[in-house]
Amino acid sequence: MTQQIDGSQARRSGLNDYDKAVETYEPVLGLETHIELDTRTKMFCGCSTTFGAEPNTQTCPVCLALPGALPVANKAAIEATIKIGLALNCHIAEWTRFARKNYFYPDMPKNFQTSQYEEPLCENGYVDVVVDGKEYRVEIERVHLEEDTGKTLHVGGATGRIHGATESLVDYNRAGIPLVEIVTKPVPGTGALAPEVAKAYTAELRDIVRSLGVSDVRMEQGSLRCDVNLSLNLPGEEWGTRTETKNVNSLRSVERAVRYEVRRQSALLDAGERIFQETRHFQETTGETRAGRSKEEATDYRYFPEPDLAVMEPSREWVEELRATLPELPRKRRERLQAEWSLGDKEMQSVVNADAVDLIQATVDAGTTPSGAVKWWLGELSRRANESGEELAALAITPKQVAELQGMVDDGRLNDKLARQVIDGVLAGEGDPADVAAKRGLEVVSDTGALEVAVEEAIAANPAVADKIRGGTHAAAGVLIGAVMKATKGQADAGTVRKIILDKLS
Amino acid sequence: MSRIIDKTAAELAADIREGRLTSVEVTTAFLDRIDAVDGTLNAFLHVDREGALATAAEVDAAVAAGQELGPLAGVPIAVKDVVVTKGLPTTAASKMLEGWIPPYDATITERLKAAKMPILGKTNMDEFAMGSSTEYSAFGKTLNPWDNGRIPGGSGGGSASAVAAKMAPLAIGTDTGGSIRQPGAVTGTFGAKPTYGSNSRYGLIAFSSSLDTPGPVSRNALDGALLHEVISGYDPRDSTAIDAPVPPVVAAAKAGATGDLSGVKLGIVKEFAEGTDAAEPGVIAAYEAGVEQLVKLGAEIVEVSCPSFTYALPTYYLIAPSEASSNLARYDGVRYGLRSGDDGERGLEEVMSLTREAGFGPEVKRRIILGTYALSAGYVDAFYGKAQLVRTLIKQDFEKAFEQVDAIISPTTPFIAFKFGERTGDPYQMYLADLYTIPTNLYGGPGVSVPVGLSEGMPVGLQVMGPVMGDDITYRVAAALESTQETLLADTAPEIEGK
């Protein structure tokens, strides 16, 4: 029997400081990613795959596993998987087949998952990612096709979890949706940057798949899901025992999960304890990983070739036809955009790290300048996302709204300070920037008559400063500008105010 | 022959088409026969008088309107309870599915309906088609019309008994290791296992996916061929279906009926002959007399060697249970069928477990355990993996043999219908019933069983095996053997005492 190890062991040993941990140990990463394809129909039947339909309305004898029903493989899903394989530089199998992964689970109608085992559709590829100016090659072991399970809902309990629930309801709408699993080879040599490399790989993979148009890859809807494998070893020694952390469902969580496991495992190793090969679950709220039931480790899936489905032999002609349809991939696109936006390498890297390429592109497409778009997304908006612990894209502001905001700045209707207040309003759901500015009364005061009165007052209140300016010390104008801004509650355009002051005093 | 129920399906179809009989008359005659004798035999699990007569009335209206009709329109049929029928209970003779009403039709059911064949009802079988005697039905055993103390074969004992006792002119069976042919042999009826993939498995409750094949049960080869052509043909809903024209089995049965087999080379498997100690002398004698008849019709007998056949039985008993252990995993009480122990206190896993404990019978459990073991980590290569290798060798033996001969013949089963309870105590003795039929399932080719004579007053069957998609030759040889019999063996069954 495997010894039960869970949070209690980690608590006993505590967590190491991250920097200290990576000074002592070398992490080895591994990533398994599941991507739901957005084919029109399910993997083995003709049911719709639309997200969010009434429970159990998108089912049929096949995906409910009624007695006698048989699967037929979805060609569009096979095509999409081959495209993913090609985009990840994989070899596409000449001969491949499905296999049954047998285990009992109520949301899996057949009590086996039709998957692939020894003969995946795609093998041996790679993805290159850049972190901190250094390129890392993440090698892909396999890309295979399988089907998703249904969803179980536990009702009657306080927590929505199985414990304490009085009833369990199953929704089979998701059962049988095509799922592509992408497994990396172990990734050593990332050192302290392991969390960032894991995140960069996941982001790159997501962008590649999105560019192919085969999945909407939305982590928050579960159409892209990650399992993070991690082990630690002392320099020069063999790789350690790995843990597999499931339920890692955002880019930020990928980073946090790796970081947490490094801290947890190093503390155990420091204490002379061993790491158990086990499945752990990431806790979104606390950033911890927790051990699953040790029972799961004993599962024997009894894989064997699926006798209900024919062997697939993708012809080389077909594979080449698909290769020819591949779109511009993210790396190429980034190189193109960097040139178009006239960004330096460092600046572009910041854009990529902030996961802002698509956002900036969309903002530029909505009619603003690249520099304006970059300024907002990497500046104020990144700061807001960090504060709230959200992904940039999850902020309640659209690229179109950012473009509108910058447009108002360009027109002189907003200054940067006012623009930031407008962002407050947009994020609070008060509407588009123009609406927020109107409702909150945040427009720049462009009525020069009103400004001239304010300037006169400022001059009258600060005669000594006015004399300095008259004497040629233009830098002293700042004091008067400040007074005017204060008087207009920041709604004046500083440039205009300065011009009026200098006109009057020279 | 005076009674409607004594007529063959071909005769009944002609009578209906040409207005000598109505389908309602024909269907009623068989329903009445079921009422009269099935209380004794228990061949049916469910009879659909209303549905059958409704279809019959449609056919009669079509005849009256002068519409073009299919070759078996109006001829009623019984369907093995492993084939899904929309709106009609389908249980696979298991408590697990007691009361389940399918919301869809199997492809075969659709084709029977399209052919306007009234469905009389669903026939008894060994639970989930696992067995050779129909003693493993959860709903009581079926009796052999020839001797009510003996088994009707299995798993399709219900279909065979129904046809032998003239409760149906035709029936659908399914054959995974001999479940059409062995019941045919022991009840004196004709049964064909078509080429794997030539008949759709969609809607067939799966036992062993790579072996299961639905096929016809009838009183003679021509009737079987007519039904074969109704149900056969490519189905895009079955990924293992063969997309090729249906072999011309009706023409072949007609050609065989002329009694001419000149130029036909028939193989006899050396290893079967050497292993005849498993077969009863009376069975061998009846079979050999049949071989002599075939020689008289012009056939040439050639000995072929198929050394891997020796391993067919153990190979089958690794592959079939392995696939079954996975196919039967879906019966968990969550979505349909039996649910046991759900008292509001027990958890999901416990309810699933109690359901499977209560719902499956002993033979099904035995095979699930066997298959689970054969697929488990550490054993899968030695058992399931090795069995797949031997399966390839068996295929190669067949392919080599068919380079030399047109068809291969053997006894269908080593022994006549045994007595109830005789082999349930020793699974291996039960499994031996399929000794001669299993190789064809592992290969995927066609095999038919045709009555060849009697032993101890009980029917004996001769098996004809053909190459993949060479179903026509098996019908031709079977029909030729029938042509040597003054009266069809199926027509000589003793009269049944109704209850």
- Do strands A134-147 and A224-233 pair parallel, antiparallel, or not at all (unpaired)? unpaired
> Where is average pLDDT lowest: A438-452, B99-113, B337-351?
A438-452
pLDDT band at A163 (very low <50, low <70, confident <90, very high): low
Choose among A68, A73, A102: nearest Cβ to B84.
Answer: A68
pLDDT for the residue A7? 44
pLDDT band at A489 (very low <50, low <70, confident <90, very high): confident
Question: DSSP letter at B245?
Answer: P
- As a whole number of angstroms, the distance between CA A173 and CA A181 comes to 20
Phi then psi for B269, rounded to 5 degrees? -80, 120
pLDDT band at B275 (very low <50, low <70, confident <90, very high): low
pLDDT band at A503 (very low <50, low <70, confident <90, very high): confident
Range of the domain at B51: 4-258+485-492
Question: Does a structural domain hold residue B463?
Answer: no
CATH code, domain carrying B237: 3.90.1300.10
Contacts 24+ apart (CB under 8 A), A265-269: A265/A25, A265/A230, A265/A231, A265/A232, A265/A240, A266/A16, A266/A20, A266/A21, A266/A24, A266/A25, A266/A232, A267/A10, A267/A13, A267/A14, A267/A15, A267/A16, A267/A21, A268/A9, A268/A10, A268/A13, A269/A25, A269/A232, A269/A240
Enumerate the residues of chain A whose CB falls inside 8 A of the CB of residue B372. Answer: 302
pLDDT for the residue A155? 80
Token digits of residue A230: 């991690």
- As a whole number of angstroms, the distance between CA B465 and CA B487 comes to 24
Question: DSSP letter at B78?
Answer: E
Active site residue B80: yes
A163 at interface of B, judged by CB pairs closer than 8 A: no
Q: Is the pLDDT of residue B1 over 80?
A: no
* Those residues with Cβ within 8 angstroms of residue B489's Cβ, 6 or more apart along the chain or in another chain: B188, B451, B452, B453, B454, B459
CATH of A448-505, one of 1.10.10, 3.40.50, 1.10.3470, 1.10.287: 1.10.10
* Secondary structure (3-state) at B107: helix
The mean pLDDT of chain B is 96
Token digits of residue A245: 């952390």
Token digits of residue B7: 């007529």
Enumerate the residues of chain B whose CB falls inside 8 A of the CB of residue A304. Answer: 322-323, 326, 375, 380, 384
B67 at interface of A, judged by CB pairs closer than 8 A: no
* Secondary structure (3-state) at A245: strand
pLDDT band at B165 (very low <50, low <70, confident <90, very high): very high
B455 cis-preceded (ω within 30 degrees of 0): no
Question: Does a structural domain hold residue B83?
Answer: yes
- As a whole number of angstroms, the distance between CA A72 and CA A44 comes to 5
pLDDT band at A6 (very low <50, low <70, confident <90, very high): very low
Q: Tens digits of per-residue pLDDT, B394-404?
A: 999 999 999 99
Average pLDDT over residues B354-361: 98
Higher per-residue confidence, A27 vs A277: A27
Token digits of residue A488: 């207009």
Choosing from B132, B179, B322, B325, the catalytic residue is B179
> Where is average pLDDT lowest: A290-294, B189-193, B252-256, B412-416?
A290-294
Enumerate the residues of chain A whose CB falls inside 8 A of the CB of residue B237. Answer: 70, 72
pLDDT for the residue A10? 45
Instruction: Report angle CA B103, B106, B109 to the nearest 5 degrees.
Output: 105
Average pLDDT over residues A163-177: 86
Q: Tens digits of per-residue pLDDT, A410-427?
A: 888 888 888 999 999 999
Choose among A73, A111, A309: nearest Cβ to B329.
Answer: A111
pLDDT band at A9 (very low <50, low <70, confident <90, very high): very low
Choosing from B94, B132, B133, B155, the catalytic residue is B155
pLDDT band at B498 (very low <50, low <70, confident <90, very high): low
pLDDT for the residue A445? 72
Q: Is the pLDDT of residue B92 over 80?
A: yes
Question: Does a structural domain hold residue B344?
Answer: no
Query: Looking at chain A, which residues constitute the CATH 1.10.10 domain(s)?
Result: 448-505
Other CB atoms within a 10 A radius of the CB of residue A51 amount to: 15
DSSP A143-176: EEEEE---EEEEESSSSSSSTT-SEEEEE-SSTT
How far does the CA of residue B403 sit from the closest CA of chain A (Å)?
A: 27
Type of residue found at A278: E
Helix boundaries (H) for B65-143: 107-114
Q: Is the pLDDT of residue B183 over 80?
A: yes
* Those residues with Cβ within 8 angstroms of residue A172's Cβ, 6 or more apart along the chain or in another chain: A56, A58, A59, A63, A64, A107, A109, A150
- As a whole number of angstroms, the distance between CA B433 and CA B428 comes to 9
Q: Tens digits of per-residue pLDDT, A228-284?
A: 999 999 999 999 999 999 989 899 999 999 999 999 999 999 999 999 999 999 998
Active site residue B270: no
Question: Does a structural domain hold residue B177?
Answer: yes
B451 contacts B464 by C-beta, under 8 angstroms: no
Using CB atoms within 10 Å of the CB of residue A405, give its burial: 0 to 12 exposed, 13 to 18 middle, 19+ buried: buried
- As a whole number of angstroms, the distance between CA B396 and CA B388 comes to 13
Question: Does a structural domain hold residue B403?
Answer: no
B2 at interface of A, judged by CB pairs closer than 8 A: no
Phi then psi for B97, rounded to 5 degrees? -115, 15
pLDDT for the residue A168? 81
Token digits of residue B290: 């049949």
Average pLDDT over residues B119-140: 98
A46 at interface of B, judged by CB pairs closer than 8 A: no
B141 contacts B134 by C-beta, under 8 angstroms: yes
Q: Give me the residues of A, 300-339, that contact B with CB < 8 A.
A: 300, 302-304, 307-310
What's this model's pTM, rounded to 2 decimal places?
Answer: 0.88
Question: Does a structural domain hold residue B474?
Answer: no
Question: Does a structural domain hold residue B41?
Answer: yes
B210 at interface of A, judged by CB pairs closer than 8 A: yes
Higher per-residue confidence, A105 vs B71: B71
Q: Is the pLDDT of residue A379 over 80?
A: yes
Mutate to test the interface with A, among B91, B97, B327 (most CBs of A within 10 A): B327
- As a whole number of angstroms, the distance between CA A63 and CA A69 comes to 8
Q: Tens digits of per-residue pLDDT, A69-82?
A: 999 999 999 999 99
Q: Is the pLDDT of residue A11 over 60?
A: no
Question: Does a structural domain hold residue B211?
Answer: yes
Q: How far is residue B353 CA from its own chain's centroid?
A: 32
Q: Tens digits of per-residue pLDDT, B225-267?
A: 999 999 999 999 999 999 999 999 999 999 999 999 999 999 9
> Where is average pLDDT lowest: A291-300, B26-35, B114-123, B279-288?
A291-300
Q: Is A106 in contact with B326 (Cβ distance < 8 A)?
A: no
Q: Is the pLDDT of residue A113 over 90?
A: yes
pLDDT for the residue A1? 31
DSSP B258-301: TT--TT-EEEEEHHHHHTGGGS-HHHHHHHHHHHHHHHHTT-EE
Count of the separate structural domains present in chain B: 1
